[in-house]
Amino acid sequence: MKEAVEEDFPCLLLKSDLETTEIKWFNPYAKSFLGVEWTSEKKIIDIVSKASSIFYESYIKPILLANGEYLEVQITLLSGSGQRVPAVANITVSGHILYWAIYVAKERDKLYQELIEAKDQLEKKTEELTAVSRRDTLTPLLNRRAANDDVLKMISQSRRAFVPLSFLLLDIDFFKKINDAFGHEEGDRILIKLSHVLLEQVRETDVVARWGGEEFLMVLFNTDIKDIKLFSERLHNAISEIGLPSGKPLTASIGGTVLEKGDLAQPNLIAQQLLKADKALYEAKANKRAHTRIYDSVHGIVKI
């Protein structure tokens, strides 16, 4: 077996003075990498980046004095061409001399960056897939499952510090006739247009979703019956701006209810609130449509 010699080691081997950082000796690999001839004037701080030099004085040196060694410390070397190269150093102390074994970590650093990029891309893809899984297949609104999840969070927040939540169900008036008269493509256009109108009317703290077919759910945060009246008036006006091919305005009926503090103890809370809102919606559609009715625990179903 061939006896190992200095030229065989594929790393930088150095000896330096602990205090002055003067390089006392280096192997041929270090000479080739650094592109310098041996000289007592060369110092460790001359072959590492400014940041690594500061790191040496403030952190590496104190640890060496305390422990006698520092393993796998990351530094940045300056090659003979001035290129900054990531490296890992193992350093031991013997008397006033430091013994350095420095391994160029260019490929490891590259792999690390690739892993970070892959992780970022994976997280981005996961976010995109999550967003897609929460969105309705036709409109930009939440789907039923995502809306249910978000409303549960709103209820949980309301349990910690109560604020009223308003549940509104909206149904497009005569939507089947619209589909029959103008085709499903026109029906889809109306659903999409209405969805954008709803998004324009609600706040970021609210939940709006396509609940099924031509029915939509809105849950308004910190909103009581008086607020619903103002909101529904604006919404009916905005919906009427959506024109049908016949020239007539689009209309919709709305049924709603307000989650009160006493309701929080009920089981199946969302289902209970939606049942009340659905009863109010039924009354709105049975009475000339194009308006809002509210289920009130005291007065029953009232028009607003």
Residue 214 appears among annotated catalytic residues: yes
Domains belonging to the chain, first-starting first, are 6-106 (3.30.450.20), 134-303 (3.30.70.270)
Give the CA dihedral 178, 211, 142, 118, nearest 10 degrees.
-110
Which one of the listed residues 41, 128, 214, 260 is annotated catalytic? Answer: 214
Dist CA 256 CA 167 (whole Å) = 5
Please count the CA atoms within 13 angstroms of the CA of 124 that sit on its side-chain side.
Answer: 6
Structure tokens at 181: 């008269």
pTM for the whole structure = 0.64
Cα–Cα dist 197/189, whole Å: 12
- Tokens describing residue 23: 């390089």
CA gap 247, 91 in Å, rounded: 83
User: Would you state the pLDDT for residue 81?
Assistant: 77
Residue 246 pLDDT: 92
Neighbour tally for 142: CB within 10 Å: 21
Contact between 65 and 19 (Cβ < 8 Å): no
What pLDDT does residue 1 have? 46
Return averaged pLDDT per consecutive 10 residues of the chain, 304 residues in all. 62 91 89 70 87 91 93 88 87 94 79 73 86 93 97 95 96 96 95 98 97 97 95 97 93 96 91 96 92 88 82
Instruction: Quickly list H helices, 8-105.
Output: 28-34, 44-47, 50-55, 61-67
